[in-house]
Structures are given as structure tokens and as C-alpha cells.
């Protein structure tokens, strides 16, 4: 529990710092976008690669397989269920489509990987990267198709920097070879920027919110309830049932629950703006889930640690 509160405190301080930096205009929209690209395309891949040097164990390999399988089932089931449900709603077509992606696709890379790295160290980062790899497969195929009504090519999915780093880290973890210390140290030095920079950028996003409009859309609350409570609690229940028949490590169970309990992903905003698919609704919902995460995530973290550790 001490580690939990330590991680939450570090996240809170750096998020507040991000708010202050944006309010003081030390960070504007252009520099925010630039730093986001640096984080996603340079720092985050290094952080993921650094996790590959975690000491190999059969237990961790089983965890990787379990996370990949569970994440695959999660995305498959939630996408099918929500497409069926929203098809009967009275929302506009664009809102129906982005409602599904907002509820299903969380911020697994931007928030999830740093969170699991801080909470569970290199092993948590490796498991989170596995979950995020499955996210990339589903988001850059069906998710983008849903928002844009276009299809992404396999090259765009496979050669995403985070996907490449995730696959490489899994291969490096399984093979017996380990990098020399100076290379490992370099990876860690760059990768360690992942947590503070991602939290500062989250704070920067929060600083731009119009509070009056933020809390006025009922649909955003429905997404938030699904995203932050319903789906993670279903995952938690599923894990509790499965562990009665199969041995699962505590780190694996915690990763599955918390990676499913994250706010809606910022990639929803980027692609909804690009394809004019209810961009204002998308932006409001992403920020609302990010704010409400401050309540839901600590509760789920504490519950998961109590049940699984």
C-alpha cells in the first residue's frame, strides 16, 4: 500500500506541475503537441525496451501470455457488445461511432505504461506493454475504421514505434541474451523520462478545459461509467473466477484490472478531429474521464492490491 500512495503522490505532483506550466504559458498547444510526439515516438519506446532486460522467468512469460489473451478477449467482446447497443440508440451516427471507441480504447500507452512501471517496476512495464500491443492491433484496425470509415494498412499498425518496441522487448525478454550494462543504463536513462513527462502533459491537457461545458453532457458520463467502473470491475470479476482454476501471478492480475481502468485514450481526440467525427464530444469525454480517474483509479488500485497481493 505504501508503494501505491507513493505512485499516486508522484502522479499528482507532476500533473499539478503540468497545469501550472500551461497556465503560465510556458507550454502552448504547439509545444504540447511536439512533446507528445517525442514521448510517444522516442521516450516511450525506450522505456518499453528497457523492460526487456527484466530477469527471465517462466512465471513472467505466463503472465505475458495471460495478459495478451485477456486483452484480446476484452477488446473483442466490448467492441461487439457496444456496437450492438449503440446501433439502437438515438445518437447521431458520428457520436455513436466515437462513443464506442471512447468507451473501449483507454489511455494504455500514455497513462497505463507509466502507471504500471511506477507500481510494479520492470515486470509491470513489460506486462503493460503487452496489453498495449493488443490495443494497437485493435485500435489501428477496427478503431480507426470506426472513426474514419477507412482502413489502416498493416504497415501502419506494425511499424508504429510503440508496437515495434513492444514486439522487440518481448523477443529480447524471451531469448537468453542480455544487453551489456552501458546499453541497459542508456535505455533506463531515456526511459525514466516517461513517467514525469507523460504526467506533465496530462496536466497541460487539464489546464485547457472549459469546466462549464465539461460537466454538461450526459453521454460523456455514460462513457466514464463504462470506462472507469463497469469494464474494470468485469475484468476484476473474471480474474477472480479464472484464478480459482489457473495459477495467475498477482502482478498479472493487477495489470489486467488497472490497464482496463484507465481514462479514454487521447488518440480518440486526434483521430476524431482529423476525420471530423464529433471532435468536441470526444475531447470533453476524454478530459472528463481523466478527471474522474482521480477518484476511480485509487479505489481500484487499493482493491486490486488487497485482493491479489
Structure confidence at residue 285 (pLDDT): 93
Q: Containing domain of residue 139, as a range?
A: 2-308
Question: Mean pLDDT of all residues in the chain?
Answer: 88
Provide the grid cell at 32. Answer: 504540447
What crossing angle do the helices spanning 181-191 and 44-51 adopt, rounded to 10°? Answer: 140
| This prediction's pTM | 0.84
pLDDT at residue 269 tops 90: no
At how many degrees (to 10) do helices 218-225 and 279-308 cross? 30
Residue with cell 511536439: 34
In this prediction, residues 253-257 reach a mean pLDDT of 97
Position 33 pLDDT exceeds 70 = yes
Per-residue pLDDT reduced to its tens digit, 132-151: 989 988 987 788 889 987 76
Q: Is the pLDDT of residue 1 over 60?
A: no
> Highest mean pLDDT range out of 72-76, 190-194, 293-297?
72-76
The answer to whether residues 108 and 125 touch, using CB atoms and an 8 Å cutoff, is no
Least confident of 88-102, 135-149, 212-226: 135-149
pLDDT at residue 280, as a whole number: 83
Specify the range with the lowest mean pLDDT, choosing from 29-43, 60-74, 151-165, 201-215: 151-165
Question: Helices marked H in 105-245 — which ranges?
Answer: 113-138, 144-148, 154-158, 161-174, 181-191, 194-206, 211-214, 218-225, 231-242
The SS3 assignment for 264 reads strand
Domain holding 304: CATH number?
1.20.1530.20
The mean pLDDT value for 118-138 works out to 90
173 close to 126: Cβ distance less than 8 angstroms: yes
Confidence of residue 154 (pLDDT cuts 50, 70, 90): low
Count of the separate structural domains present in the chain = 1
Amino acid at each position: 500500500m505504501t508503494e501505491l500512495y507513493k505512485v499516486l503522490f508522484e502522479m499528482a505532483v507532476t500533473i499539478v506541475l503540468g497545469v501550472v506550466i500551461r497556465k503560465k504559458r510556458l507550454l502552448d498547444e504547439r509545444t504540447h503537441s511536439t512533446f507528445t510526439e517525442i514521448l510517444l515516438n522516442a521516450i516511450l519506446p525506450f522505456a518499453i525496451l528497457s523492460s526487456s532486460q527484466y530477469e527471465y522467468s517462466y512465471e513472467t512469460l505466463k503472465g505475458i501470455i495471460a495478459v495478451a489473451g485477456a486483452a484480446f478477449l476484452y477488446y473483442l467482446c466490448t467492441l461487439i457488445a457496444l456496437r450492438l447497443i449503440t446501433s439502437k440508440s438515438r445518437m447521431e451516427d458520428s457520436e455513436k461511432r466515437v462513443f464506442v471507441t471512447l468507451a473501449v480504447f483507454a489511455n494504455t500507452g500514455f497513462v497505463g505504461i507509466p502507471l504500471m512501471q511506477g507500481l510494479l517496476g520492470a515486470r509491470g512495464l513489460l506486462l503493460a506493454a503487452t496489453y498495449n500491443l493488443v490495443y494497437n492491433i485493435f485500435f489501428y484496425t477496427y478503431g480507426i475504421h470506426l472513426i474514419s470509415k477507412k482502413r489502416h494498412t498493416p504497415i501502419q499498425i506494425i511499424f508504429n514505434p510503440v508496437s515495434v518496441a513492444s514486439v522487440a522487448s518481448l523477443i529480447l525478454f524471451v531469448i537468453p541474451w542480455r544487453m551489456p550494462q552501458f546499453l541497459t543504463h542508456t535505455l533506463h536513462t531515456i526511459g525514466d523520462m516517461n513517467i514525469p513527462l507523460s504526467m506533465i502533459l496530462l496536466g497541460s491537457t487539464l489546464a485547457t478545459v472549459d469546466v462549464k461545458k465539461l460537466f454538461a453532457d450526459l453521454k460523456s458520463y455514460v462513457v466514464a461509467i463504462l470506462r472507469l467502473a463497469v469494464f474494470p470491475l468485469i475484468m476484476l470479476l473474471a480474474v477472480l473466477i479464472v484464478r480459482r482454476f489457473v495459477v495467475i501471478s498477482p502482478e498479472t492480475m493487477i495489470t489486467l484490472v488497472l490497464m482496463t481502468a484507465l481514462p479514454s485514450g487521447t488518440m480518440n481526440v486526434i483521430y476524431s478531429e482529423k476525420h471530423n467525427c464529433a471532435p468536441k464530444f470526444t475531447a470533453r469525454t476524454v478530459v472528463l474521464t481523466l478527471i474522474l480517474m482521480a477518484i476511480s483509479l485509487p479505489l481500484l488500485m487499493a482493491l486490486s492490491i488487497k485482493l491479489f497481493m
